[in-house]
Structure 1
Amino acid sequence: MDTEILARIQFAFTVAFHYIYPPLSIGLGLLMVIFEGLYLKTGNKHYEVLTRFWLKVFAITFGIGVATGIIMEFEFGTNWSVYSKYVGDIFGSALAAEGLFAFGLESTFLGILIFGWNRVSPKVHFISTIGVFLGSMFSAVWIVVANSWQQTPAGYHIVGEGLNARAEITDFWEMVFNPSSVDRIIHVWQGAFLAGAFLVLSVHAYYLLKGRYVEISRRGFKIALIVATVISLTQLLSGHSSADGVAKNQPAKLAAMEGHYEASSPADLYLFGWVDDKTQEVRGIKLPGGLSFLVHQDFNAPITGLDAFPKEDRPTQVNAVFQFYHIMVAIGLFLIGLTIYASFLWWKKKLFNKRWLLKIFAFSVLLPQIANQVGWFAAEMGRQPWVVYGHLRTNEAFSQEVSSNQILFSLILFFVVYTILFLLFLYSLNKKIKKGPYEEIQTDLQLV
């Protein structure tokens, strides 16, 4: 297989696997802050138990996330040396800030959070919980800033030519607040909050179905439902804002997301469909002029299509971008409907009478994870054939010295190791869930 394709597959695999865990850490961090804040305010022991239980799950998630994330930075140097040289000045500052101000903050306070029960005051422990949560959020900021710079470069100039060319920062804050970074940071945060909230909803729905820990599960479920409802609705707004930015800064990506080929004409909005890149046709259910209306508030406004770009400058897998994008949107709309309906039943005092709904919530933990994954695939594949949009092509960025056999061997090795780590994560998570929240706090109290 082609070296470039193998290098892309390897990096996509490692990033996608790693990205299972950081969203859960961010989302669980928010829920832990809420649970412990309610405990401090009310003195209700149920909230203390919830905090302690989800802290155990957070620690497992954090540990696996760190283990799976380190390898990606080595891949920059081994498989993508030209790319690393080109973006080194940009990414160096962003990743250094992530390590110093985010990971350091998170890991330091995590020690107090895990081992500080009954050793520090409740207020100090709560501050540590907030510190861990903020650290996880700041970590996402700097990673998304670095990736957003690839999408919409700003605050830089190019030094050198050819293989010696590299980007240097001219304005740090312009680089940080590049045209896409704020929208994408907000959208990533919201996706993470939903991942954490639906994990909490899933576990407590499972307990309620089994008739275990009913009182504490009702409390945890309701709080997570509030978070999930608010965030799923506001994510619709951030997604729209982000799409507006794509229309302005990356029109070829937007065209691929909706399978729009005509160089300048009104664009339809598809609910679902299938793109035939050879015939440049999309078969599916659509709202005529819908994309034009979302972007320009006019059903007849022209949208730049793929035919306006040379073939070598278009996304190479239009149908894949289309499908990934629409899966993300469909899941987002489903989560909005699910949470609003559940909130309505809560208002009617019928929420916990619907076992079929609790079963949906028990399995719904997968949906935000799938949406997060396919959203990133749509964004990254839609940027192709550029690794730095408009400047550095992907086929120019990988290491010429690394052979396809070397990448294939390491890919197989990573697959084996990551599979073991994933099974270990599932085993540990399942063990904690079966053990239950009260057993956790009793064990902790016995050790004090």
Structure 2
Amino acid sequence: MMETINSSKQAIALEDEFGAHNYHPLPVVLAKGEGVFLWDVEGKKYYDFLSAYSAVNQGHCHPRIKDALIEQAGTLTLTSRAFYNNILGPFEKYITEYFGFDKVLPMNTGAEGVETALKIARKWGYEKKGVPENEGVIVVAENNFHGRTTTVISFSNDENARKNFGPFTPGFEKIAYDDIEALERALENKNVVAFLVEPIQGEAGVYTPAVDYMRRVAETCKKHNVLFIADEIQTGIARTGSLLAVCGNCSCEGHCEKQETYTRPDMLILGKAISGGFYPVSAVLADNHIMEVIKPGQHGSTFGGNPLGVKVAMTALEVIRDERLALNARKLGSIFRERMQLLVDKYKILKLVRGKGLLNAVVVNDSQDSSTAWDMCMKLAEYGLLAKPTHGNIIRFAPPLVMTEDQLHDCCDIIEKVVKEFER
């Protein structure tokens, strides 16, 4: 029988005793969520300004997605891919038309999506580009974050994620992010099969590249017959004010293939908000000439493409489009950065604000090994706003996209209150 949790202290003690210590969460024990709000075990209400790392763009417990989950859970949840089911085909048609690709390969987690894309890219390189087998190279950007599997951490800069987990997977080359010249030099190697990149580096502190970086990446990859793989697990699904971050500055809401500013990757990796936080779903999208290299038995997942997950995902994507959440993210993101810039200009404790849409970060004017950003997040929680530091001195701010303008201003007031308290 599951132990009943009566206090935050009790819940934290249980996790500390029986769970692996692979995370360092803020000491807040959450018990309920609705829209942009969360409540802890004691009933205290918070604004959520992390959105489960952009997995709940549609807000917590969105009623439409919840109803779809309940309906499908009472009908059919899992068949494995040993058989067809009556939900997967409609989902595949829906998502490929939604994002403008020929084919989709559904998986479960973001890291699985990345691993899937890497496998497809290597196989394409050997069978379509003519790279000698086992000699394919995939170029990645420094300070990337694509997951925590052994292969992915093989090309990570985070030594904490790498230490004592080797030996690592070969076949990767790291180059500077937001540096087209570095990419051009790397792609002179005829054995390069793909360039894997985040349109905005979220985990690195919401590092936003030059406006034309994605367009130039696509052009450079095309020139060298190299696949451009966009990891939009965190940046996609309306988070940055467009359906995808690679959409540039267009106001697309699901029809971005028709926009002049759309930069189309050869492969697109999605996860997190694709299911609105209800169920782990990820997807890799590509056109036929790429996806056709995968044959039966060469890749798969028992749960990948299960009826419950894909029904939830279809509904979650419908919510994004029907509620025009990309435009809301664009509007509120502009307001947020304007208000944060006022604080940066006024208070020395803040160094800069950056981001796009409702994926933003404020850099604290202190060293990376200081506790200032953490302490500020603790104080924010005390005042009813949940955020989390990254890279020591950076605070990421990413609320659910269903937030209203009044709620956003309320949150900015809380942030300003905390900044004032920390001003030297």
- Same fold? TM cut 0.5: no
The structure richer in helix per residue is 1
TM-score range normalised by the length of the shorter chain: under 0.3
TM-score, normalising length from structure 1?
A: 0.22
From the CA coordinates, give the structure whose radius of gyration is larger.
1
Q: TM-score, normalised by structure 2?
A: 0.23
